[in-house]
Amino acid sequence: MIVIIFTIIQIIWCNFDERMRWGTYKPQLLHAVTQRNMKTFNPITGALMYADHIGTDDRSLIYKIPDLNTEQIKINPIHHNGKDFNIQQISDPNTKSIIQTTFIKFPIESKVNFVDEIQTLAIEKPLSLFYVLTIEQFNQFNLETRTFQVNVTNQGIRVSTLNEDETRMEHFFITIFVNNKKYQYNCTDEKSNLTIRTLFNDYIYNYDPRPTLMQAIFSNSTNTNNSNLVAIEFRVQPGDNVIIQVTQTDKYIPEYGFDNLQQLSDSLAVVNKFNFKKVFGTDNKCAYSSFSNLMAGLLFTYGNLTCVINKDTCTSFKPMLSHTPSRFGFPRPFLWDEGFHNMIACKVNPDICLQSLEDWINTMSIDGWIPREQPRSEELRSYIPWLKEDPRESNPPTFFFNFEYLIDNHPEYKERIGKIYLKLFSWYNNWFRTQAIFDDKGKFTGFLKWWGPEEDSNLGSGLDDWPRTDGSKVSKYNIDAQSWGYFFTYQMSKLAKLYDLGIVNYLEQRMELILNKMNTNMLDPNDLIYKDILYYPNTDDQVFFSPHRGYVNLFPLGLGLIDKFRVDIIKQHLNFMRGNTMWTPYGIRSLETNSTEFRKKSNYWTGPIWINIQFLVLRALKLYYWEIDGVQQFYHDLRFNMIETICSQFETRGYFYEHYNQNLDGQGQGNRPFNGWTSLITLIIAEKY
């Protein structure tokens, strides 16, 4: 067994892209630089903390975004390209401070790997800044024995340890500047503003070093031997401009301090904006900020999952690089969200996009199931300890938007995608086994329905509390599952034409069956809207169209499944969305106002305005139905409303939100910052679908 694990790790390491080794891969923290360590999976992490007082509560040390009231504290990624450059500002009215972080990663042939800088822009009362280096313990099969060595001179601080395969030293050179002058540290000066603590952090609590640090602060203790945590505290006085600069290298010992970092940062900001405009064709501030927010949510994690049934993917420890929906509310990977995230990321960082897709596919169980939500570490599970993944539950296969883009625009990736084709087909088969309807003889009927433990809500569909019942009538077939089933089959047929010609005819026949059943049985002739089909349990005698109308009914249009020659159906869908029960000046409601379930349950998908479904509608109108009378005006009106709503809220309140209030005010609500699919506003502004 040990040999098998070692072999797998060796294979992963051989394919490792060194350019992705360091990054801000802990979006749940205020600011952190960490490793995508694919050798031992135990990363070195450098993180920011700050406090205006040290109370008995760990959270008096500001460290994690979910600990904050983010309606007050503004966290603004000014620049973030997801790879090698970002600048972020943290404005905290509670501590009366503004702190800026700058991360610059250098090309792999450079002597320096990265520079990480913490700078105070405004300080109105005394503040303690902490830069904390830890050797984290993610991999329980490889207990970490490395420790830090600390060397302090009057020029700065050098923290060193062995790298992950113990072949060379990693060095972190820390220099502090106060009001543009290098701080001269004197360890014998009792009035020094600088305190250095070397501590041992029990790996069980390693993902949050605050308990260990708090204990050391109150006991005034330090441990120079066997330390896996180094905490550098600098007490900033009002009016001071303080810079804590961390230079990381494993190649040579540089001079302390990076003198021209501001000049380099300014140049990179110009380059970053130029590259953004080159890809998206716009320099719109809202589009750029939205993109930067998405990139700031990129996460790397390693671990296992908690599941209802412990399949192999649950018990296995696996690495994952993925964007996250919200640094505040959802700092963990979500399947169908990531497909939307990558519709943006693939255009700028196709290498990171494909790596994310490969990591997701490699979490697949042996029978083809991919868990839809993956908090793969003790740290991520601490935010949602009750979550258990169910192997009967699936998510919309949005990854195929990404595979389609990569194959069409990056032919150099065709061979690499071909290597995971069989896994994609295994996922496809599992998805249909769990979501499709089969007859008594095991033959696919052509209909699909989301599996779920409850009849009236469904997390797997992605639309959570959207109503699926009517009184005692329950779902028999779901129109969104039907639409995604066709989309999945169509996309697999496109891949099969590249990698598996023998299966193409089978897939095309299945596509025809699904579409025929949708048009024959799920299109209501009374209003020409596709709908869920309901029935009374334990009877098959009579079926009913669901009375609820909203986002679920838009998937045939949004995925381009309506025949463009059925102008009557397309116009009826436009009229439906234009109606006063769905249309607002801020976007389209998720559920009609005349539904009995409007704003009921959690009022999550039963009224609020969400961007991802409207993005699909705009995309489909532009790509598939553009020449139909009335489409262009509808498109322009909806696009204008979405841009105005999302960008005006960002301008006035400083955040992109999870969803927006439909009650004629368009206020952002839900989690914030929501750096996930709300970032699709970048593509809407750029009209890059």
Q: How far apart are CA 145 and CA 158, in angstroms?
A: 20
| Residue 638 or residue 59, greater confidence | 638
DSSP symbols for 357-422: HHHHHTT--TTS---SB---SHHHHTTSTT--B-TT-----THHHHHHHHHHH-GGGHHHHHTTHH
Tokens describing residue 574: 């436009």
Residues in the chain: 689
Q: How many CA atoms lie within 13 A of 654 on its CB side?
A: 14
Among 183, 159, 181, CA closest to 171: 159
Characterize the bridge pairing of strands 543-545 and 436-438. Answer: unpaired
Q: What is the tens place of the pLDDT at every residue in 5-45?
A: 333 333 333 356 888 999 999 999 999 999 998 888 999 99
Q: How confident is the model at residue 470 (pLDDT cuts 50, 70, 90)?
A: very high
Strand spans (E) along 93-180: 97-105, 114-123, 127-135, 149-152, 157-162, 169-178
- Residue 153: the pLDDT is 82
Low-confidence winner among 173-177, 181-185, 209-213, 367-371 (lowest mean pLDDT): 181-185
The answer to whether 250 touches 67, Cβ cutoff 8 Å, is no
Q: How far apart are CA 148 and CA 1, in angstroms?
A: 31
Q: How far apart are CA 473 and CA 535, in angstroms?
A: 5
Average predicted confidence (pLDDT) for the chain = 92
DSSP category for residue 598: T
Mean pLDDT, residues 82-87: 96
Q: How confident is the model at residue 215 (pLDDT cuts 50, 70, 90)?
A: confident
φ and ψ at residue 571, rounded to 5 degrees: -65, -35
Mean pLDDT, residues 329-343: 97
Name the amino acid, one letter, at 499.
Answer: Y
Three-class DSSP category at 10? helix
Q: How confident is the model at residue 257 (pLDDT cuts 50, 70, 90)?
A: low
376, with CB counted inside 10 A (0-12, 13-18, 19+), is buried
pLDDT at 189 over 80: no
Mean pLDDT, residues 183-190: 73
Characterize the bridge pairing of strands 169-178 and 149-152. Answer: unpaired
Among 673, 648, 644, CA closest to 658: 673
Three-class DSSP category at 251? coil
Q: What is the tens place of the pLDDT at every residue in 497-528?
A: 999 999 999 999 999 999 999 999 999 999 99
Tokens describing residue 559: 């995925």
Q: How confident is the model at residue 312 (pLDDT cuts 50, 70, 90)?
A: very high
Radius of gyration from C-alpha coordinates of the chain:
26
Q: Match 């927010």 to its residue by tokens.
A: 293
- Residue 632: the pLDDT is 98
Sign of CA dihedral 640, 642, 648, 654: negative
| Residue 632 or residue 212, greater confidence | 632
Q: How far apart are CA 448 and CA 479, in angstroms?
A: 8
Name the amino acid, one letter, at 217.
Answer: I
pLDDT at 169 over 70: yes
φ and ψ at residue 15, rounded to 5 degrees: -90, 10
CA angle 644, 638, 649 (to 5 degrees): 20
pLDDT at 206 over 90: no
Q: How far apart are CA 50 and CA 97, in angstroms?
A: 10
How many other β-carbons are positioned within 10 Å of the β-carbon of residue 256?
A: 18
Share of the chain above pLDDT 90, in %: 81
pTM of the model: 0.94
DSSP symbols for 317-345: -EEEEEE-SBTTTB-S-BHHHHHHHHHHH
The answer to whether 357 touches 331, Cβ cutoff 8 Å, is no
- Residue 167: the pLDDT is 85
Q: How confident is the model at residue 1 (pLDDT cuts 50, 70, 90)?
A: very low
Tokens describing residue 397: 């296969």
Sign of CA dihedral 336, 338, 340, 346: negative
Tokens describing residue 238: 């009002």
pLDDT at 4 over 50: no
481, with CB counted inside 10 A (0-12, 13-18, 19+), is buried
Q: How far apart are CA 417 and CA 413, in angstroms?
A: 6
Q: How confident is the model at residue 2 (pLDDT cuts 50, 70, 90)?
A: very low
Mean pLDDT, residues 560-566: 97
Share of the chain above pLDDT 70, in %: 95
Three-class DSSP category at 340? helix
Name the amino acid, one letter, at 568.
Answer: D
Mean pLDDT, residues 87-112: 94
Beta bridge partners of 321: 300
CB within 8 A of 538, min separation 6: which ones? none
Q: How confident is the model at residue 110 (pLDDT cuts 50, 70, 90)?
A: confident
Q: How far apart are CA 334 and CA 330, in angstroms?
A: 9
